[in-house]
């Protein structure tokens, strides 16, 4: 066993010794690419979503210098192995590159030079008859011919150098091209290659820098969706086994809906909540979280408004096609939002091509970050939203109506102005600071109908609950009457605190091309 060649199965053995969620079905997908034109796979997902666990699992499965039977015989992949007579298990030389670790070890030596030197040394130690060559690709071809089988290449944190200087990027991408750009050379060396990182393959000009890789990302995960994190079934099973509250787990860590897997949860946060039975944001332990403020502070038209909408619970459209797949090349708001998808701060809906903040954990990170943003328009939005909540709680209905009218005029196109859905979006945007004190529910079943928006106080909050009903061309008094007639406060049955009924209406003023907003606030 070596460090870079055939690292063995000790990494995965340690993973199996702890609470383990079976993700060995991933191996079936990689097995299906071996010695095919699809042999190159790049899977990107956010930090703390199990990338290194998957890489360690693949090392243990393919490394021919160890016997990993006891680690896999009770997992999903064992069925495939039985059907295929263990065709691939522990049958290959594995080259394993943990790029982040290598960057720390290489010192002043150029990264590609360090990798070539170290892998060649370990190959020669394993196979003394190997004929080495100045060309790394030729050395690998010679090794494959000498041993009679090809390599499985596993690259963990493949994109770490992409976050470095342009010169480091250039050297590293040139190195990867020498290995993977020529389909003929690649086919002679590798049975399969698996790269994982935060970012998809770096775009270089108009083309991908390593164009033959099949990419699976948080934007388009395809068949790898259920391996991007924990599925809902995974989390339900864990909660049942360890007696944890599934509803809280869903509120805090769900929100990434990936087709065709459905709900996908952050594995790191779920496991910490399982072990500690405490639900809060573990995201701060990720170094990527420290950069959120920098991204949402970028000076692009519409970005500040988009962040405010996201915080208010409003989905925002995004075009992901122009993103350069690095952390520094941003042309517009869409590029920033696309990066936040890859970092896990936003969840992307492939069908609607919109993003939203996925869960309570991430909302807290946005709330922390946005208060550090120095842009005047962002500061104004925060202050206005906080003032609106203050005015609502203190039943200053006139001020509430004025602020809703202001946001409605600023944010809604004339074409959609007379639309209750547009008004609902305006209200969510206006109250976007709610997460400091409240949980938000929409279309909440209540009494004889559905309450439009309910802001329910978080545990320990002194705030009253807010039941908000919205209407067009109806008086605010009539809206309050509807709330009472249809018994909307029944949605909060069992809640012993104060409840405020907030009726908001707008109508066109007679003989004028203007719209007037009114509001009435009463105790339930």
Contacts (Cβ under 8 Å, ≥6 apart) of 309: 316, 425, 428, 429, 432
Q: Which helix (H) or strand (E) holds 521?
A: strand 515-523
pLDDT single digits (tens) 413-428:
543 445 567 777 888 8
pLDDT single digits (tens) 479-502:
888 888 888 888 787 788 899 999
SS3 of 98, please?
Answer: strand
Q: Among positive and negative, which fits the CA dihedral 273, 268, 271, 440?
A: positive
Q: What was the pLDDT predicted at 206?
A: 46
Same domain, 446 and 472: yes
Residue 407 pLDDT class (50, 70, 90 cuts): confident
Rounded to whole angstroms, the Cα distance separating 47 from 44 reads 10
Rounded to whole angstroms, the Cα distance separating 213 from 196 reads 11
In 10 A of CB 290, how many CB atoms? 10
Same domain, 381 and 426: yes
Residue 15, by phi and psi: left (phi above 0), alpha (psi -120 to 50) or beta?
alpha
Rounded to whole angstroms, the Cα distance separating 394 from 500 reads 10
In 10 A of CB 278, how many CB atoms? 8
Q: What was the pLDDT predicted at 66?
A: 96
Q: Among positive and negative, which fits the CA dihedral 7, 11, 13, 16?
A: negative
Assess contact for 143 and 93: CB atoms under 8 A. yes
pTM of the model: 0.82
Structure tokens at 173: 């991408």
Same domain, 312 and 366: yes
pLDDT single digits (tens) 362-392:
988 888 887 777 667 777 888 888 899 999 9
Residue 356 lies in a domain: yes
Same domain, 125 and 41: yes
Residue 419 lies in a domain: yes
pLDDT single digits (tens) 139-165:
999 999 999 999 999 999 999 998 787
Same domain, 387 and 363: no
Domain-ending residue, one of 347, 370, 393: 370
Residue 476 lies in a domain: yes
Residue 42 main-chain phi, psi, to 5 deg: -125, 115
Residue 435 lies in a domain: yes
Same domain, 409 and 364: no
Q: What was the pLDDT predicted at 445?
A: 82
Residue 288: pLDDT above 80? no
Assess contact for 216 and 41: CB atoms under 8 A. yes
Same domain, 155 and 64: yes
Average pLDDT over residues 76-99: 92
Q: What was the pLDDT predicted at 416?
A: 47
Residue 221 lies in a domain: no
Nearest one of 274, 225, 226 to 253, comparing CA atoms:
274
Q: What was the pLDDT predicted at 418?
A: 54
Same domain, 201 and 276: no
Q: What was the pLDDT predicted at 336?
A: 93
Rounded to whole angstroms, the Cα distance separating 152 from 127 reads 17
Contacts (Cβ under 8 Å, ≥6 apart) of 21: 230, 234, 238, 267
Residue 448 lies in a domain: yes
Rounded to whole angstroms, the Cα distance separating 302 from 339 reads 16
Crossing angle for the helix pair 397-411 and 420-430, to the nearest 10 degrees: 110
Rounded to whole angstroms, the Cα distance separating 51 from 428 reads 35
* Length in residues, the chain: 524
pLDDT single digits (tens) 182-206:
778 899 999 999 999 998 887 665 4
∠ CA 233-237-241 to the nearest 5 degrees? 175
Domain-ending residue, one of 216, 246, 268: 216
Residue 1 lies in a domain: no
Q: What was the pLDDT predicted at 197?
A: 93
Structure tokens at 308: 């405010």
Contacts (Cβ under 8 Å, ≥6 apart) of 215: 42, 44, 200, 201
Domain total in the chain: 3
Structure tokens at 520: 């009435």
- Alpha-carbon distances of 340 from 424, 454, 500, rounded to whole Å: 25, 28, 36
Average pLDDT over residues 71-91: 91
Same domain, 132 and 47: yes
Same domain, 17 and 161: yes
Average pLDDT over residues 460-476: 85
Domain-ending residue, one of 170, 187, 216: 216
Same domain, 365 and 382: no
**Per-chain mean pLDDT for the chain:** 88
Omega before 75 cis (within 30°)? no
Beta strand 230-231 pairing with 214-216: unpaired
Same domain, 380 and 511: yes
SS3 of 474, please?
Answer: coil
Q: What share of the chain is helix, strand, coil (3-state, %, to 5)?
A: 45, 20, 35
52-61, 153-162, 198-207, 433-442: least confident range: 198-207
Nearest one of 379, 375, 365, 198 to 291, comparing CA atoms:
365
150-164, 232-246, 294-308: least confident range: 294-308
Residue 151 lies in a domain: yes
Calculate the dihedral angle through the C-alpha atoms of 428, 433, 435, 441, rounding to the nearest 10 degrees: -10
Residue 42 pLDDT class (50, 70, 90 cuts): very high
Rounded to whole angstroms, the Cα distance separating 250 from 235 reads 9
Q: What was the pLDDT predicted at 226?
A: 94
User: For residue 313, what are the domain limits?
Assistant: 230-370
Residue 5: pLDDT above 70? yes
Q: What was the pLDDT predicted at 474?
A: 77
């Amino acid at each position: 066993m070596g460090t870079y060649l055939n690292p063995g199965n000790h990494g995965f053995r340690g993973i199996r010794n702890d609470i383990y969620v079976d993700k060995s079905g991933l191996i079936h997908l990689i097995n299906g690419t071996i010695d095919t034109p699809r042999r190159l796979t790049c899977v990107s997902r956010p930090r703390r979503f199990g990338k290194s666990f998957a890489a360690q699992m693949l090392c243990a499965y393919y490394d021919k210098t160890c016997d990993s039977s006891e680690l896999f015989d009770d997992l999903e992949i064992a069925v495939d192995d039985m059907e295929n007579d263990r065709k691939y298990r522990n049958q290959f030389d594995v080259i394993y590159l943990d790029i982040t670790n290598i960057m720390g070890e290489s010192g002043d030596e150029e990264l590609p030079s360090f990798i070539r030197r170290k892998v060649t040394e370990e190959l020669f130690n394993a196979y003394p008859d190997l004929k080495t060559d100045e060309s790394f690709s030729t050395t690998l071809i010679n090794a494959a011919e000498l041993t009679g089988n090809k390599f499985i290449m596993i690259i963990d944190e493949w994109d770490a150098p992409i976050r470095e200087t342009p010169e480091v990027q250039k050297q590293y991408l040139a190195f990867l091209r020498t290995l993977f750009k020529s389909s003929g050379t690649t086919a002679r060396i590798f049975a399969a290659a698996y790269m994982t990182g935060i970012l998809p393959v770096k775009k270089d000009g108009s083309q991908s820098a390593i164009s033959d890789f099949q990419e699976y990302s948080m934007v388009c995960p395809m068949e790898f969706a259920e391996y991007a994190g924990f599925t809902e079934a995974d989390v339900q099973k864990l909660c049942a086994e360890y007696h944890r509250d599934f509803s809280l787990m869903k509120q805090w860590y769900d929100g990434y809906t990936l087709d065709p897997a459905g709900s996908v949860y952050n594995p790191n946060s779920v496991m910490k909540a399982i072990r500690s039975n405490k639900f809060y944001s573990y995201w701060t332990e990720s170094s990527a979280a420290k950069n959120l403020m920098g991204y949402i502070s970028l000076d692009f038209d519409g970005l500040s408004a988009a962040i405010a909408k996201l915080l208010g619970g409003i989905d925002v459209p995004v075009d992901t096609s122009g993103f350069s797949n690095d952390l520094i090349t941003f042309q517009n708001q869409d590029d920033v939002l696309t990066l936040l998808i890859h970092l896990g701060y936003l969840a992307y809906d492939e069908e609607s091509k919109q993003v939203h903040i996925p869960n309570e954990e991430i909302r807290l990170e946005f709330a922390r970050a946005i208060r550090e943003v120095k842009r005047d328009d962002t500061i104004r939005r925060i202050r206005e939203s906080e003032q609106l909540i203050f005015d609502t709680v203190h039943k200053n209905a006139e001020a509430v109506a004025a602020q809703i009218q202001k946001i409605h005029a600023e944010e809604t196109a004339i074409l959609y102005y007379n639309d209750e859905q547009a008004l609902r979006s305006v209200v969510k945007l206006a109250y976007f600071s709610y997460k400091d004190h409240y949980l938000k529910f929409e279309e909440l079943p209540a009494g004889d109908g559905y309450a439009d928006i309910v802001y329910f106080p978080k545990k320990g909050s002194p705030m009253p609950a807010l039941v908000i009903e919205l209407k067009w061309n109806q008086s605010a008094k009539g809206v309050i009457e509807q709330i009472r007639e249809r018994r909307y406060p029944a949605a909060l049955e069992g809640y012993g605190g104060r409840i405020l009924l907030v009726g908001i209406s707008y109508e066109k003023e007679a003989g004028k091309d203007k719209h007037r907003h009114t509001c009435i606030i009463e105790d339930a």
